[in-house]
Amino acid sequence: MRLIIDQGTSSTKAFLFNSNGKIVYQDKIKHDLYRPSRNHVECNASEILNACKTLIIKSIKTSPDQILSMGLSVQRSTFLFWDRKNIAPVTTALSWQDSRAIDIVEKMKEHSDWVYKKTGLPLSPHFGGPKFQKMIKEIPSLKNKVKDGSIIFGTLSSYITHALTKNLAIDHTIASRTLLLDINSCRWSNECLDLFNIPEICLPKIYPAFHNYGKVLDYDFNLQCVIGDQQAALIGQNGFTEKSIGMNFGTSASILYNSGHRPIMINGLITSVLFSSNNKKIYVSEGTINACNSLFYYLEKILNIKHSEMNWDERCKNINTDGFFLTGFSGIAAPYWVSGFDDIYHNLNKNNKNEVIRAGMESIGYLVNDIINMLNNNISFDSPLITASGGGARNSLLQFISDLTGQIISRPKIRDKTATGVFRILNSNYTTNQSDDSTLFKPIKNRKKIMHKIKKWREIASSLD
């Protein structure tokens, strides 16, 4: 048996896989996000750790066979400070959606070019360096403790790993989201540490994704893999093959391209580590979309729709709109990188809830199309189809993406590919044949009309900067 913990934005999931890759047990614990003010999005790291522990214990009790190892996939770009000795949080965890450090980023704009070349990341408040500076500014008492190393600054994945194994560690894939990692050497960058005034003594040690992190809570199995959730999703879609491309739609969304053993810099997209072991590194070019399922939760609130009545896929199915809706609560990531703005309604009837929902859904599709277009312009990938996974990979969205991109989109019967990706790493089963029962979405709309809408979308999105 292999135990996989998939720690996401809104819930933590547990999966038990048998040796044949079949899921024999799964469970989930939801948790809350807190939005105390504009651009502030937080979560409780202790609550999430307790969810992980509870699911581990329940899985052990349920497992019909011995658990051989555990893997952990985690949401990325969520940061906190915790005490080195007792491994207890001393701050809330700032979610990857949190953009309160936008003022820090504005003051550092002159450093954008070299930071991008060094780290593969745009200078954005969503990543670690600006969040460190913002938290130190908000809580001055942290400053001296950081200098003497008595508290740690790191990702939520590092905190969970530390608490479960007593090993203070961060893996390459998630360290790629800190704005502190030299993407070529995969070591902490002295230049970036100096820019954000971060002493290395307060950071976790960097390890490969596939690595023995130590015993889990003193049980007789080890944590053998820690990896970013989106990277795991691509691996679950057979993304170990160079030049493979996949999409994953969850709370956020990502379009990922396996660029092989060398990082490829594409301005507007993220370059990170897809997978690493002691003797291997594979890189990924990624376009992130900050709001996917979270967009529809937000629309439930502002349109006063009960969650049980949202059913956004059905609402979008038979609705057409020439309007556009851009939500500003989490900003736009790739390829525009604009943080926190007021919602934009363009040529929309605000009283028609289904039209607003359709326009919101289409905004996800337009961003996917922009990202794929950037990949096409830089690497000329030739893929007969693109695989889409995740709970947000629903019919209306995938058909719209197919119409926009002119690509065939394939959705596997089993959509939760994150846990599958971690299992494949633990089981050294990096590639398998895709299931024949995937659903295919093929372009059906008139290209002339679509190109007109794409042009208008880009005019609106580009005007935000």
pLDDT band of 16, cuts 50, 70, 90: very high
Question: Using an 8 Å Cβ cutoff, are 251 and 8 in contact?
Answer: yes
On the question of pLDDT at 26 being above 80, the answer is yes
pLDDT for 255: 96
Please report where in the chains the tokens 């990543």 appear, as a residue: 127
Distance separating alpha carbons of residues 265 and 151, to the nearest angstrom:
34
Taken in order 402, 407, 413, 414, the sign of the CA dihedral is negative
Residue 122, both tokens: 């745009």
Q: What angle do CA 191, 197, 201 make, to 5 degrees?
A: 90
pLDDT for 63: 86
pLDDT for 401: 96
pLDDT for 423: 96
Give the residue from 402, 371, 409, 408 showing the smallest Cα distance to 388. Answer: 409
Distance separating alpha carbons of residues 219 and 221, to the nearest angstrom:
6
Distance separating alpha carbons of residues 425 and 233, to the nearest angstrom:
12
On the question of pLDDT at 186 being above 90, the answer is yes
On the question of pLDDT at 380 being above 80, the answer is no
Angstrom distances, CA of residue 204 to CA of 83, 115, 172, 248, 307: 12, 21, 11, 28, 39
Residue 413 neighbours by CB distance under 10 Å: 9
Window from 107-111, 239-243, 357-361, 382-386 with minimum mean pLDDT:
382-386
Instruction: Read off the pLDDT of each residue in 296-321 and give the average, rounded to a whole number.
Output: 94
Residue pLDDT, tens place only, 52-93:
999 999 999 998 789 999 999 999 999 999 999 999 999 999
pLDDT for 248: 95
Residue pLDDT, tens place only, 399-455:
999 999 999 999 998 888 999 999 999 998 655 544 557 899 999 988 888 999 999
Q: Which domains does the chain have, with CATH numbers?
A: 2-228 (3.30.420.40), 238-411+435-465 (3.30.420.40)
Question: Using an 8 Å Cβ cutoff, are 73 and 229 in contact?
Answer: yes
Give the residue from 421, 410, 415 showing the smallest Cα distance to 236. Answer: 421
Question: Using an 8 Å Cβ cutoff, are 24 and 5 in contact?
Answer: no
